[in-house]
Structure 1
Amino acid sequence: MKNALLIIALVFFSCCKAQENTVKFPENGMVPKANLNQVSWIQGHWKGEAFGGITEEIWSPPLGDSMMFSFKLVSDGKVVFYELGGIRQVDETLIFQLKHFGNDFKGWEEKDETVDAKLVKIEGNRVYFDEFTFEKISDTEINIYVVIKENGETEEVKFNYKKQ
């Protein structure tokens, strides 16, 4: 019995700890007021490593009520996939949106679908969207935490980027 309780406790704490840097938008939650100037530090050309390859994100400065980005994962000298999207100013808050594309630029989501993440909060050096967190480490380093769901499993993945 003690072993079973120990295993259950370990599973519970490892699941909880796995998502310590991201938050879920609360059901019936209210989006906070925010503007693009509060997240403009995300702009820049960023490179890092993840999924056994090189990751690259390029973020534009705020313009036209949005910040646009492109992402690619390169492994063994070949592009694995791309993402295009941005952070948009909508009314008095922000929304993070993206679309995935294979290395042949064929979309993963349906034509008119995007992955949308509502703003949860901005605290100190972190911007929390629904299951996405941007963290400013310094003017030349950021972390992006993403909750990835695949085959019934949920995992928080950390992308560490250095400014190019």
Structure 2
Amino acid sequence: MNHYLSLCLLVCIGTHAQNTVVYEEGSIVPKMNLSEIAWMEGHWIGEAFGGITEEIWGPPLGNSMLFSFKLVVDNAVAFYELGHIRQVGETLVFELKHFGSDLKGWEEKEEVQRFKFVKREDNRIYFDGFTFEKISNTEINIYALIEQADEIKEEVKFNYKRQL
């Protein structure tokens, strides 16, 4: 089994961390418009998991913002993610799927990881286990609450710089 599979970004239900929050069942999902996170659009490069991370976010179009993620370790792709933030009624949802370097999906064919919008505060957009933070027009942070294979739960910070 690929050891990067253990790095699969899985939201840890019921766990709180410094920069992430979790959706509490039964909570009302607040109103939010896709235009409020349009600042994510662009080509972003950072470092995490011992390698280079790349995220490319498209503009809001068709009630969604499409993204791709790539982790490169030792000059080889470890895994990809493909997903979007989409407008659902008067709120947002963050959805993604993982793929190995051979583009074989990690989730079952019909399975999609979904993360509800929780709140917006200043320069941060909070989803269930993920936080998108605008530092400036050229720098962002994404915080992800992950679960390792040994069930240790931790928050990982991805710091990205915009590529021009």
Same fold (TM over 0.5): yes
Partner of 1:35: 33
Larger Rg: 1
Trace 1:3-152 onto structure 2 (pairs within 5 A): 19-150=17-148, 151-152=150-151
Task: Tell me the SS of whatever aligns to 1:37.
Answer: helix
Which segments of 5 or more consecutive residues in structure 2 lack a partner in the other structure?
1-14
Number of residue equivalences: 148
- In the TM superposition, structure 1's runs of 4+ consecutive aligned residues that sit over 3 Å from their partners are none
Q: Deviations over 1:125-150 (max 9, x none)?
A: 00000000000000000000001112
- Give the CA deviation at 1:27: 1.7
**Higher relative contact order (CA closer than 8 Å, sequence separation 6+):** 2
Whole-angstrom distance in 2 between the partners of 1:84 and 1:25: 22
Whole-angstrom distance in 2 between the partners of 1:109 and 1:153: 21
Superposition TM-score, scaled by structure 1 size: 0.88
Which segments of 5 or more consecutive residues in structure 1 lack a partner in the other structure?
1-15
- Provide the alpha-carbon RMSD of the alignment: 1.1
Whole-angstrom distance in 1 between the partners of 2:65 and 2:35: 10
Partner of 1:160: 159
Aligned-residue sequence identity (percent) comes to 66
- Give the CA deviation at 1:158: 0.1
